[in-house]
């Protein structure tokens, strides 16, 4: 169905003025929040505090400490009328890491797979409650580096392979987390898309790609009022990210308008000059070779005039303002009540249990993140007479419990999270075996199991003559600070681990109702996909501490699957546009050169351009019901800044200068896209509706780019009107000459669909 734009007379609010972290916009409100008044008040308080401080005292704000109760801290400072106690920094994006009585939530990649803003925000709130309960000031979360390289180790921490999806997930995570009074630190800025050589590499990225792909999630983070941003350990275009003035001063603080500090990743500071180039806090405060890049060296530089005292004041203000913004100066904000370096020290650990009822959040988000890839009537289960679970991934940890491996760099049972600083410490893990055994007992199903991955003969015998055979496989990865089975952070390949492919084939050869369950940090190849006895494939990802219960909810139909892939699953690793650069730094070439030559064509954008058929496309996922789309309409919304909008609409450059990218008029709704959605099946369920733009060829954009989505729940047979909005930012491309966002000339296609390759309705926006 084709439709063209018509103009409406309705006006639109430019921004939601007076927004604070404690009065966030409602989920789904597309009017951009305006935190400017809240930031101004926080800056006023910070300025009063530092007014009488010495140079040395102001430098103390900027220089971290690594030996403390927390992962990192800054020292306390006494002002004229009050005391700043210092900041407690703690990992990470899916848990309060290395601390007891905390929850391990579904990883970022699973959270993105829900495509549900409300669930993403609820996870953010729950994370914030746990960080606050432990007395943490700054949570190193969220992480949203792009899954540019399919086997990159930390992809599981982020939100997938699309900048719009990652940006929306970052926005809701930050809004939710900061509503609890905890500072969010968005990371890693920027171009940190592989683990190998991350401290000895230069990511070489052109300006347009930087703006349209890798900076976009940080734009949405700043719009959400993010308190802090962490710069990455890699170089960008031959300069360290934490000392790159163009990135930090020009783009992040100037163009995007970030108000808080930039904090370095550990040991990512090149030297004292990084302060002039936009870095505000150095962590861990000292250099690997000794001394500190800030501390006394920064003090000396300021006194010598090499770095201005105005810049030092700016650093101190940026660090202190979020403390006031988030109400952490209040008497009731908790102090750190744990010792991350020694959880058994009775003097420094209060062992506060902050989990509350967050298991419910984990279970709900986990179930909503499970993607049904294939189903030939095998699911949902209907009280099978017999069933078998095959594979170690179905089992609980069998040797020493779920925290057997340091940083979770290893797995002995079900895979629920990757490894590294972005992991968590488990209070418990519900395995598939435990959850399914409870349900089988209730249904009087005879359930058997075989947890050996390597004896495929015995596995086939176990699977024979069962009404349904589940075979569980996995693939793990993490940060380069840990290694597992020869995988130093990044995965060596994208095949199933532990003999998984052979295990699947053995079980499928023995049972004509084989269901494959995949727990994985990212895509794997599936050489067994077309096996006639494989009746269902369930993509469970890494769903945290309630993994088994979330899976059982979907398998039995208590939850109708609605998740969609946040990346493409290809037939083979060479189908992806970017490769893991496995070069090593040398004396002659001290930086590994990682060239982002694919430009804008990341993940599905590349597959569309090159007409490559994947196993499963970006945005794909099945349901136990079906949905119909109809009656597309596109309406323009009159704005309130006509001169700017007219300039933009004529494809002229937009405004330049500070705050260009986060100019609120650019982000306010400009078009409403409405259509009717009907649940045409016999089961209540949620559909993830997706909006893709198809730019004119002259724009030199990928064939299709995601610019909208919504999760819509409908009872069987019900219909509803769905409305998605498009802002000028959504429609724009980055003009490298004018350094502005402009509307491409010509007609922009609008596609509504159920995935990146399942178009249901088509319309257009004419210039």
Q: Cβ(213)–Cβ(578) under 8 Å?
A: no
Can you read off the two tokens belonging to residue 319?
A: 């660090």
Mean per-residue pLDDT, 631-636 = 97
Q: What is the largest CA-CA distance in the chain?
A: 82
Residue 555 CB-half CA count within 13 A: 28
Instruction: Give the whole-angstrom CA distance, residue 190 versus residue 173.
Output: 19
Spatial CB neighbours of 239, under 8 Å, sequence gap ≥ 6: 202, 246
- Cβ-count burial of 673 within 10 angstroms (0-12 exposed, 13-18 middle, 19+ buried)? buried
Closest CA to 679 of 628, 725, 749, 621: 628
Q: Residue 243 — φ and ψ, nearest 5°?
A: -130, 25
Q: What is the mean pLDDT of the chain?
A: 95
Classify 264 as helix, strand or coil: strand
Work out the angle at residue 743's Cα, subtended by the Cα atoms of residues 172 and 646, and round it to the nearest 5 degrees: 105
Residue 656: pLDDT over 60: no
Residue 420: pLDDT over 70: yes
The answer as to whether 369 is a domain residue is yes
Same domain, 446 and 502: yes
Q: What is the predicted pLDDT for the residue at 482? A: 87
Residue 239 CB neighbours (<10 A): 16
Q: Residue 279 — φ and ψ, nearest 5°?
A: -80, 135
Q: What is the predicted pLDDT for the residue at 738? A: 87
Instruction: Give the whole-angstrom CA distance, residue 594 versus residue 641.
Output: 42
Residue 655: pLDDT over 70: no
The answer as to whether 286 is a domain residue is yes
Q: What is the predicted pLDDT for the residue at 512? A: 99
Write the CATH number for 312: 3.20.20.300
Among 513, 532, 565, the domain boundary falls at: 565
The string of pLDDT tens digits covering residues 688-717 is: 999 999 999 999 999 999 999 999 999 999
Q: Residue 750 — φ and ψ, nearest 5°?
A: -125, 120
Spatial CB neighbours of 445, under 8 Å, sequence gap ≥ 6: 383, 384, 385, 386, 387, 439
Same domain, 260 and 365: no
Q: Cβ(103)–Cβ(83) under 8 Å?
A: no
Q: What is the predicted pLDDT for the residue at 14? A: 57
Spatial CB neighbours of 153, under 8 Å, sequence gap ≥ 6: 194, 195, 418, 420, 477, 478, 479, 480, 487, 489, 490, 491
Q: What is the predicted pLDDT for the residue at 4? A: 38
Categorize the per-residue pLDDT at 12 as very low, low, confident or very high, splitting at 50, 70 and 90. Answer: very low
The answer as to whether 237 is a domain residue is yes
The answer as to whether 610 is a domain residue is no
3-state helix, strand, coil in the chain (%, to 5): 30, 20, 50
The arrangement of strands across the sheet holding 758-765 comes to 2-3, 758-765, 748-755, 685-694, 705-714
Residue 632: pLDDT over 50: yes
- Output the pTM of the full model: 0.96
Closest CA to 111 of 96, 127, 91: 127
The answer as to whether 410 is a domain residue is yes
The answer as to whether 5 is a domain residue is no
Same domain, 313 and 364: no
Lowest mean pLDDT among 25-29, 132-136, 459-463: 25-29
The answer as to whether 512 is a domain residue is yes
Same domain, 320 and 394: no
- Note the helical H segments in 160-270: 163-178, 207-209, 216-223, 245
Same domain, 213 and 290: yes
Mean per-residue pLDDT, 146-166 = 98
The string of pLDDT tens digits covering residues 438-459 is: 999 999 999 999 999 999 999 9
Among 310, 326, 342, the domain boundary falls at: 326
- Note the helical H segments in 631-733: 642-649, 664-667, 728-731
Among 544, 565, 586, the domain boundary falls at: 565
Closest CA to 160 of 607, 526, 541: 541
- Cβ-count burial of 45 within 10 angstroms (0-12 exposed, 13-18 middle, 19+ buried)? middle
Same domain, 63 and 123: yes
Alpha carbon distances (Å) from 664 to 12, 27, 474, 644, 720: 12, 18, 44, 11, 30
Instruction: Give the whole-angstrom CA distance, residue 125 versus residue 109.
Output: 18
Mean per-residue pLDDT, 727-755 = 94
Residue 530: pLDDT over 80: yes
Lowest mean pLDDT among 235-239, 252-256, 471-475: 252-256
Residue 398: pLDDT over 90: no
Lowest mean pLDDT among 102-106, 131-135, 585-589: 585-589
DSSP state of 213: I
Instruction: Give the whole-angstrom CA distance, residue 28 versus residue 117.
Output: 7
Query: Domain residues for 508?
Result: 359-565
Same domain, 363 and 322: no
Mean per-residue pLDDT, 569-577 = 99
Residue of 100, 265, 359, 476 with catalytic role:
265
Same domain, 128 and 242: yes
Instruction: Give the whole-angstrom CA distance, residue 187 versus residue 231.
Output: 7
Write the CATH number for 449: 3.40.50.1700
Number of structural domains the chain divides into: 3
Residue 73: pLDDT over 60: yes
Instruction: Give the whole-angstrom CA distance, residue 443 versus residue 62.
Output: 60
pLDDT above 70 coverage of the chain, percent: 96
Same domain, 299 and 445: no
Q: What is the predicted pLDDT for the residue at 471? A: 99
The string of pLDDT tens digits covering residues 322-355 is: 999 999 999 999 999 999 999 999 999 999 999 9
Same domain, 447 and 559: yes
Instruction: Give the whole-angstrom CA distance, residue 629 versus residue 720.
Output: 10
Closest CA to 60 of 84, 91, 82, 41: 84
Categorize the per-residue pLDDT at 5 as very low, low, confident or very high, splitting at 50, 70 and 90. Answer: very low
Alpha carbon distances (Å) from 684 to 657, 678, 713, 715: 50, 11, 8, 4
Write the CATH number for 661: 2.60.40.10
Same domain, 297 and 412: no
The string of pLDDT tens digits covering residues 606-630 is: 999 999 999 999 999 999 999 999 9
Helix (H) or strand (E) holding 750: strand 748-755
Residue 265 among the catalytic residues:
yes
Q: What is the predicted pLDDT for the residue at 289? A: 83
Categorize the per-residue pLDDT at 747 as very low, low, confident or very high, splitting at 50, 70 and 90. Answer: very high
Residue 559 CB-half CA count within 13 A: 21
Same domain, 385 and 319: no
The answer as to whether 534 is a domain residue is yes
């Amino acid at each position: 169905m084709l439709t063209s734009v018509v103009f409406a007379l309705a006006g639109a609010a430019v921004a939601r003025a007076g927004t604070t972290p404690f009065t966030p916009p409602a989920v789904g409100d597309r009017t951009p929040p305006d935190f400017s008044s809240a930031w101004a008040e926080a800056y006023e308080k910070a300025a009063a505090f530092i007014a009488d401080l010495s140079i040395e005292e102001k430098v103390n704000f900027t220089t971290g400490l690594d030996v403390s109760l927390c992962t990192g801290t800054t020292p306390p400072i006494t002002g004229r009328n009050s005391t700043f106690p210092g900041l407690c920094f703690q990992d990470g994006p899916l848990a309060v890491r290395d601390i007891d009585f905390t929850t391990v939530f579904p990883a970022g990649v699973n959270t993105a797979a829900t495509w549900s803003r409300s669930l993403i925000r609820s996870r953010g709130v729950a994370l914030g409650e746990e960080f606050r309960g432990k007395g943490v000031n700054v949570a190193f979360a969220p992480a949203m580096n792009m899954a540019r390289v399919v086997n990159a180790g930390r992809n599981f921490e982020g939100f997938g392979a699309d900048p719009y999806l990652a940006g929306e997930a970052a926005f809701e995570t930050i809004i939710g987390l900061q509503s609890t009074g905890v500072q969010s630190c968005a990371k890693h800025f920027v171009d940190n898309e592989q683990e190998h050589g991350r401290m000895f590499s230069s990511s070489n990225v052109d300006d347009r790609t930087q703006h349209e792909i890798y900076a976009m999630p940080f734009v949405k983070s700043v719009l959400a009022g993010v308190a802090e941003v962490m710069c990455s350990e890699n170089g960008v275009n031959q300069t360290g990210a934490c000392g790159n003035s163009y990135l930090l001063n020009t783009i992040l603080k100037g163009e995007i308008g970030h108000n808080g500090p930039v904090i370095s990743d550990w040991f990512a500071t090149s030297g004292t000059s990084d302060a002039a180039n936009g870095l505000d806090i150095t962590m861990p405060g000292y250099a690997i070779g000794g001394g500190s890049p800030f501390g006394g060296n920064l003090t000396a530089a300021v006194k010598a005039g090499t770095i201005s005292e105005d810049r030092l004041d700016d650093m101190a203000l940026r660090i202190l303002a979020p403390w006031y913004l988030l109400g952490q100066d209040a008497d009731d904000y908790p102090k750190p009540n744990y010792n991350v370096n020694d959880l058994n020290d009775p003097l420094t650990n209060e062992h506060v249990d902050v989990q509350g009822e967050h298991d419910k959040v984990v279970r709900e988000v986990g179930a909503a993140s499970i993607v049904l890839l294939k189903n030939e009537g095998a699911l949902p289960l209907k009280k099978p007479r017999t069933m078998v679970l095959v594979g170690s991934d179905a089992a609980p940890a069998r040797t020493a419990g779920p925290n057997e491996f340091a940083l979770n760099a290893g797995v002995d049972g079900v895979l629920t999270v990757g490894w590294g600083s972005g992991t968590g410490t488990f209070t418990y893990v519900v395995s598939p075996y435990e959850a399914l055994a409870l349900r089988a007992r209730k249904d009087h199903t005879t359930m058997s199991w075989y947890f050996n991955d390597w004896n495929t003969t015995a596995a086939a015998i176990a699977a024979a003559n069962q009404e349904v055979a589940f075979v569980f496989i996995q693939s793990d990865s993490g940060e380069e600070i840990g290694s597992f089975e020869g995988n130093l952070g990044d995965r060596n390949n994208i095949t199933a681990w532990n003999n998984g492919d052979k295990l699947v084939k053995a079980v499928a050869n023995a049972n004509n109702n084989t269901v494959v369950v995949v727990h994985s940090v990212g895509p794997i190849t599936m050489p067994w996909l077309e096996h006639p006895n494989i009746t269902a494939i369930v993509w469970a990802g890494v769903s945290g501490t309630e993994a088994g219960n979330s899976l059982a909810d979907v398998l039995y139909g208590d939850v109708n699957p609605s998740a969609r892939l946040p990346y493409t699953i290809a037939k083979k690793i060479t189908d992806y546009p970017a490769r893991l650069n496995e070069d090593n730094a040398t004396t002659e070439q001290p930086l590994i050169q990682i060239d982002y030559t694919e430009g804008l064509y990341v993940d599905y954008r590349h597959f569309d351009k090159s007409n490559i058929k994947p196993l499963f496309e970006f945005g794909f996922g099945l349901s136990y019901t079906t949905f119909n789309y109809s009656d597309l309409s596109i309406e323009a919304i009159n704005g309130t800044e006509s001169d700017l909008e007219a300039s933009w609409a004529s494809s002229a450059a937009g405004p330049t200068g500070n705050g260009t990218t986060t100019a609120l008029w650019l982000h306010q709704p400009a078009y409403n896209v409405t259509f009717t959605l009907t649940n045409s099946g016999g089961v209540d369920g949620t559909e993830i509706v997706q909006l893709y733009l198809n730019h004119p060829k002259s724009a030199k954009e990928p064939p299709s780019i995601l610019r909208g989505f919504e999760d819509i729940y409908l009872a069987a047979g019900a219909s509803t009107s769905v409305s998605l909005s498009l802002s000028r930012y959504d429609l724009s491309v980055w003009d490298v000459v004018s350094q502005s966002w402009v509307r491409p000339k010509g007609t922009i296609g609008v596609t509504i669909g159920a995935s990146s390759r399942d178009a249901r309705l088509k319309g257009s926006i004419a210039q």
